[in-house]
A and B are shown apart, each in its own frame.
Chain A
Amino acid sequence: MRFSCDWLHDFLEAPLPAPAELARRLTASGFEVGTWEEVPVAPAGPDLPAAERERRARLGIPVPGEPHAWHREAGIAPGSDAALEVDITANRPDAMNHFGLAREIAAALGRPLRSPAFELTEDAAPAAARAHVSIEAPDLCPRYVGRVVSGLRVAPSPRWLARRLEAIGLTPKNNLVDASNYALFELGQPLHAFDLKRLSGGGVAARRARAGETIVTVVDRVEKTLAEGMLVIAEAGTADRPGRPAAIAGVMGGFDTAISDATTDVLVESAYFDPRSVARTSRALALRTDASQRFERGADPGMTLFAADRLASLLAELGGGKVLAGPIDARAPGAAPLHEPAGSSAPGAGRRTFTPFHRAVPIVLRAERASALLGVDVDADEAAQRLGRLSVVATRAAGGPLSCLVPTWRGDLTLEVDLIEEYARLGGYDAIPSTLPSMPPPVPREGAGEAEDRARRALASFGYREVITYSMLSRADDVRFGALAAPEANDGGPPALVIANPLSERWEVMRRSLLPGVAGTLAFNLARGREDLRLFEVATVHGAGEPPFEARAAAIAAAGLAHDPASPRPLRAYDLLDLTGAIEALVLALTGERAKLAGSGGGTCAVPGGSRTPAVGSAGEGRLRCAAPGRGPFHPGQSFTIFWDERPIGRGGRLSAEAQQAIESERPMFLAELLLEPFLGAAAAPSFRPLSRLNPVARDLSFFVGREVPFGNIEEVLAAAVAKIADGPAGAPTYVLIDRFEGKSVPEGRVSYMFRFRFAPRERALTAEEINGAVESVAEELAASLQAEVRRA
């Protein structure tokens, strides 16, 4: 909210500090000042009521239009005003007005506060004879004060008032409308003025709206349909014509009963409305107004009557009218504790000043509790004195805790801890020392986050770049990519969680797959001419359910040409094997299990389980397995499903031509994703296997196999063959693929493979016969199972 320094001066007995210093002090006491700026004031004519000019002259407070040392200090043009933009937190509606902020400034600076003051002259005719007020919803409207002002004439506002409204960013309209606004921004009490002659039945009732009732609101002149139960201020109505809603209570007035150029008599409304009721109505109708913001945060129940008097007085002064005698003070039974005692405001004519009221029930404040919570010694007497600056009345029986009466405008102070905060706030947080917790820290636990970060570091160490993409997707992308979860399910997994209030159609559902994000990022970078792209993301995939499905997952993606630093030319295009290899290496990094990959990890990725038997590469023992095909928007011949312990945990493949088209990218993309849940436990420490003292013996085996035989089959056969000879004299060798080629010297339709077997003698050197025998039995197995043609040199 914007504040005028000139306006604030009305409530202070000394000039404000220069705006920059004031901003600093306010910020330090919890009222953050965003910016402040000079507001020019035309330097001509009397711009303030005469009494206020005199007061300021006496106290040395700047008068708008006249030069003053304050302007020099502020560095602004002589005679000008300054406006502050102050961020008022939601708990402090009491400071959303000039008197309220002046109260805070006085407390923060330890200076005297001046109460708002005005003259109220009442006519002899009683207001109650002209208008009546009834409360039919006492729970939502515990208090409603009406005032009647008659004989008004609509005219432009005087310059001083218009200028102040302009200084805080409002556009003056006419004297009657401006008066309501002025009183609101002066005192914080939202007020309304009805054109009394247009109120059917000559009065109002605070009641709940009935189903289907409508109102045309004054600002936007749009007909709003009210929900049943919303609090309205309705016309009193007549026997034959029930009253229609004349205002949405605490939110906005109606057009039909609003002030117009023809208005002469008004009914002033000053009420206290239930904060939650106003909040609900304001949200439901999407109407946020100066009034609703204050009511939903909590108006000052002690201000209701005073503000009604203030507006009545201002209307009479500005519009040349008469204030009829007496407030029309409607109170709901039981509302008393919240409000000033009936009759405490002197009726009749005279000078009015604001008297603080206090809530009846005191809050107990223990100095030792404050000391323990803040970490600073709190003295009870000093605390009482400090809180006194906020109009808190703190009393104390000898040695006992403080008993604190809190003023009605501080609805936010209800607990002891609230007063402890006020004590600390007024002293400044700078005054509190810095310590560290003295309790011994509990034993830290390793969470899933640590394992996830191991995955991130591993993938980055492989050369992949981490990306962070939105968790929300368009419906089209969601449908196109489907769900990662339950990739084996034919029904496509759980449906997507739908966002009820999406910001854009790009973000309508929570993603069930990480692939759209990495694919989109590939496309984004390819379009910018990048060649070598390998990306990953670690994030959550979602799905509907009760409770909703959430799982951590990792996605990897590659596109373009691999820039291989070991052999700069020719560049190699990324393909599926980049993905399967990275997945193998990732799982190894996460599980900490020994690298016992079968073969070179070609078409399958197999990480054998933690068996302690001699290192035997075996797809059969592998807990991780990739097998074609995979479900998703993939090229039908280039996709795979990732299995862990025979449970599908992921999928991957080359993006289908159709999907490529949808994301507007022609370059082939390779994508995979897997659930991280099996790997989020603590990594197993590597366990040492004794080393043989004898040198291993290597023996190569070459053979041709039909092109249609997948490498995975060869591995399975090898694993079985090696298992068979494990108990033989040479033991089980390890093996690795060292060459694979086709063409030229290889018969048509066949592929040549060469494996290197390594035998590790345990107790004695192996004989050539033992080794040859072992290799020969593997060769026979290959020939028998795969019609392999073993090549003997």
Chain B
Amino acid sequence: MSSAGPVDLEKEMLRTRAEFSAAADAARTAEDATALRNRFTGKKAGALTALFRLLGTVAGPDRPRAGAKLNELKTEIESRIDEIAGRIAEGARAAAEKRDRADVTLPGRRPVRGSLHPTTLARMRIEQVFREMGYSVATGPEVEDDFHNFEALNLPQDHPARDAHDTFYLEGGRLLRTHTSPVQIRSMIAMPPPLMLIAPGRVYRCDHDVTHLPMFHQVEGLVVGEGVRFSDLKGTLERIVQRLFGNDARVRLRPSYFPFVEPGAEVDISCTVCGGTGCRSCKQSGWLEILGAGMVHPAVFEAVERARVAAGAKPGAYDPERVTGFAFGMGIDRVAMLLYRVDDLRVFVDNDARFLEQFPL
């Protein structure tokens, strides 16, 4: 058996390197990379293992140098295989990612959204503004009696101002409330001052044309306590209007007449369309009428006092010499028309889906 010399090992190393180089260049797939690794670096049958076996045949003095060279080759081959395997894996990943690309411009799966009626949206917004200021929200019946809707509000039978109310009467003598003021009366009869409340709700007037519906929505407010002043009403309305229509909105109070308040006022806001310079919406005046307001009339307090005492309450809670108050009222549908630029009242009751869907939740 002829012994192999260093020459043989070197020759084998050259041959192995050449074979590896060819095989490495030919490797294309992950399988090729695995085969390459098995063929050259496999622990039992790998080409490098065979070369290390040959190292034992190298003469003693030459052995360290030959060993170092062999290790060099091993490192070179291993790192080359890692590199090839990595490149191939990277390529496969890129190909897969290319295959799996999503068309993000397809329609997304939108959650189904319903909508709230603009009158509700406006009411919620109004209520929010008042809640911030410490008001409670009160409700009351829509079918009312003459006392709560008229008498207690200083509108006795045959009062000429009743004409403006176009009342629906029910068989049996009750009526459909023409405003939500009866809720104020009920609240005062039920509770002593101080009171800060608003009363939103449906109201009814026997009137139907382009600008009037027989059923609409109002919110009325009431503040009663010691030392409540007309200036407080003015400041409150200014704040409300600015929170609803923006800080640039201006408020104008004009003397007017509602039997349940004194002094009474009509309240205009600067036109939300033109900002006050004059346009079609405000009939060139720069102002939009939006609220009625005033200081609670002493006759209202007196009616409340009588009803409270009749119900067993201690007298004096609503003595007009002791407490004062202000009240105001506005149309919620009207506010909705201004907020959302709706120019036709009738769409509010048509409930056309094309209208409703413009007010998504």
Contacts and interface: CB of A to CB of B under 8 A. Distances in A.
Interface residues of A, number: 96
B211 interface: no
A461 B169 contact: no
A19 to B, nearest CB: 14
A35 to B, nearest CB: 8
Interface in B140-175: 141-143, 157-161, 163-164, 168-172, 174
A534 B239 CA distance: 38
Given A32-B266, A279-B158, A498 B171 contact: yes
Contacts of A550: 141-143
Contacts of A442: 134, 136, 194-196
B263 A420 contact: yes
B230 A373 contact: yes
Interface stretch (A85-93, A350-358, A702-710): A85-93
Contact of A30 (B255, B295, B297): B255
A457 B361 contact: yes
Interface stretch (B16-24, B33-41, B104-112, B308-316): B104-112
A497 B141 CA distance: 14
A572 interface: no
Given A449-B127, A461-B114, A525-B353, A90 B226 contact: no
Nearest to A434: B235
Interface stretch (A40-48, A129-137, A221-229, A466-474): A466-474
Contacts of B297: 417
Nearest to A499: B168
B214 A497 contact: no
A470 B214 contact: yes
B262 interface: yes
A89 B258 CA distance: 9
B44 to A, nearest CB: 44
Nearest to A296: B160
Contacts of A568: 107
A447 B200 CA distance: 12
Nearest to A23: B285
Contact of B230 (A32, A424, A528): A424
B114 A445 contact: no
Given A460-B116, A460-B361, A542 B143 contact: yes
A463 B114 contact: yes
A445 B195 CA distance: 11
Contact of A90 (B115, B161, B169, B231): B161
Nearest to A468: B117
A27 B266 CA distance: 10
Interface in B222-244: 223, 225-232, 234-236, 238-239
B231 A501 contact: no
Residue of B158, B164, B169 with most partner-chain A CB within 10 A? B158
B263 A424 contact: yes
A497 B120 CA distance: 26
Nearest to B283: A35
A449 B232 contact: no
A273 interface: no
A500 interface: yes
A591 to B, nearest CB: 20
A547 B127 CA distance: 29
B231 A459 contact: no
Contacts of B202: 471, 539-540
Interface stretch (B55-63, B92-100, B344-352): B344-352
B212 to A, nearest CB: 11
B280 interface: no
A425 B253 CA distance: 10
Interface in A518-545: 521, 524-525, 528, 530, 533-536, 539-540, 542, 544
Interface of B: 107, 109-117, 119-120, 124, 127, 131, 133-139, 141-143, 157-161, 163-164, 168-172, 174, 176, 194-196, 200, 202, 204, 206-208, 214-215, 223, 225-232, 234-236, 238-239, 252-257, 259, 262-266, 295, 297-298, 324, 348-354, 356-357, 361
Interface of A: 27-30, 32, 89-92, 275-276, 279-280, 283, 293, 296-297, 372-376, 415, 417-418, 420-421, 424-425, 429-430, 432-442, 444-445, 447-450, 453, 456-457, 459-472, 497-504, 507, 510, 521, 524-525, 528, 530, 533-536, 539-540, 542, 544, 547-548, 550, 563-566, 568
23 contacts: A30-B256, A32-B254, A89-B256, A279-B160, A417-B262, A417-B263, A417-B298, A421-B263, A437-B196, A437-B232, A447-B138, A461-B114, A467-B351, A468-B349, A469-B351, A470-B215, A497-B170, A503-B214, A507-B214, A524-B350, A524-B351, A548-B174, A566-B109
Given A435-B231, A456-B120, A466-B116, 12 more contacts: A297-B160, A374-B263, A376-B231, A425-B255, A433-B235, A434-B231, A442-B194, A445-B136, A466-B356, A503-B207, A510-B143, A565-B110
